Structure formats: structure tokens, C-alpha cells
Amino acid sequence: MIPSINIYSQVVSTENYQKVIKAILTIFPDAKIEKSTDNEKSREINAQLDINCLKSFTDMLEKQQILDSARKRARKGLEESELEKESFQIKLRFNKQSAFAGKINFLDIDDEFSPLHYFELLIRHINDIEEFLNEYFPEWKSRREERKKIENRLKISMKNEEKSKQKLKKSK
């Protein structure tokens, strides 16, 4: 089963509703705001993400140099699914103000933190947790090694192309 990804946030009366949506979309630009309520009784935002959208999130983690921290947070937010045996889910909380500024700042799940300060990401139906973590929450070292291999292949390719050009010039 393909993992499902949901984002949820309460919006309290002192918060700007549109700014909370912007905070979510800053971290997850491809999120689809599905259901949002903005009335006197309740203000909340629900959004969905496609699994492919996590790639840009992983790139953002790498850019901010917090891959290892994110992996630890993902492991800490890991739970066995109550509905499906041999399936897992990950719950992560993000600071709204940091997200609005374009920075990823995780909050502890166990903290009795006011809903004022966070939005929550819930990833469900994860069958192979290690494969999922390696794909979307890789260790910094493995990601760096992967990039070096790609860079080396590019260098070799560029050298071969240059050699071919030189041979072509000589043959003319």
C-alpha cells in the first residue's frame, strides 16, 4: 500500500489563518489544502501530500543540513499502526513560525505544547520502515556519499566528452 500523508493544524483566534497556510506551503509546497474551516467555532487546516512530494522535503532537509536530526525525529515519531498489522506511521510536528520563515524546526510529540505553535504531519501505511527512512530521511553520510558518486560520474563524463572533442578537432 502506498503511504498516505496528511497535514493538520489548528488555527487559534490570535493567528492569521492565511499565514498558517503559507507556513505549511513553505515547507510542503505541493500540499493540497483539502478541508479548511475558518469560522467562529472552529479554525483548522487539513491538507494532503503525494508521496513524491517528500523528495523536495528531503532536499530541504539536506540544504538546511538537518538530515540526521530529521531521521532521529522520524524514528521518535514512529508508531505501529493501530489499524494495520505490520504497518507503521510517523508523526512529526513543525513549528509554524519557523516554517513561515522557510526553516524546518521539529517539535517533540510528547510535549504538552499548545496547538498554537505547530502543525502536524502524519505519514500512514508504511510497510518497510527502514526503506522508507533511507529514502526520505537518509543519513547525512550516505546522502553525501551518493552525491560524491554522482559528481565523480559527471567529471568522468565531462572528461570523456572533452577527449572526444579534441579527437574530433585533430581529425579535421
**19-53 pLDDT, tens per residue?**
999 999 999 999 999 877 667 666 889 999 999 88
39 in the same domain as 25: yes
97 in the same domain as 43: yes
162 in the same domain as 77: no
User: What pLDDT digit, counting tens, does each position of 86-115 carry?
Assistant: 678 999 999 999 999 999 999 887 766 565
- Give the domain extent around 48: 4-138
32 in the same domain as 70: yes
Q: How far apart are CA 114 and CA 64, in angstroms?
A: 26
Question: How many domains, the chain?
Answer: 2
152 in the same domain as 68: no
pTM equals 0.75
Query: Of the ranges 64-73, 98-107, 134-143, which one carries the lowest mean pLDDT score?
Result: 134-143
DSSP type of residue 74: H
110 in the same domain as 31: yes
Q: How far apart are CA 85 and CA 142, in angstroms?
A: 30
59 in the same domain as 27: yes
Q: How far apart are CA 143 and CA 160, in angstroms?
A: 26
44 in the same domain as 91: yes
DSSP H helix total and E strand total for the chain: 6, 7
57 in the same domain as 27: yes
Q: How far apart are CA 14 and CA 20, in angstroms?
A: 11
Q: How far apart are CA 164 and CA 156, in angstroms?
A: 12
> Which burial class, exposed, middle or buried, applies to 20 when counting CB atoms under 10 A from its CB (0-12, 13-18, 19+)?
buried
CATH number at residue 58: 3.30.1440.10
In this structure, what C-alpha cell is assigned to residue 132?
522508507
64 in the same domain as 18: yes
Mean pLDDT, rounded, of the chain: 84
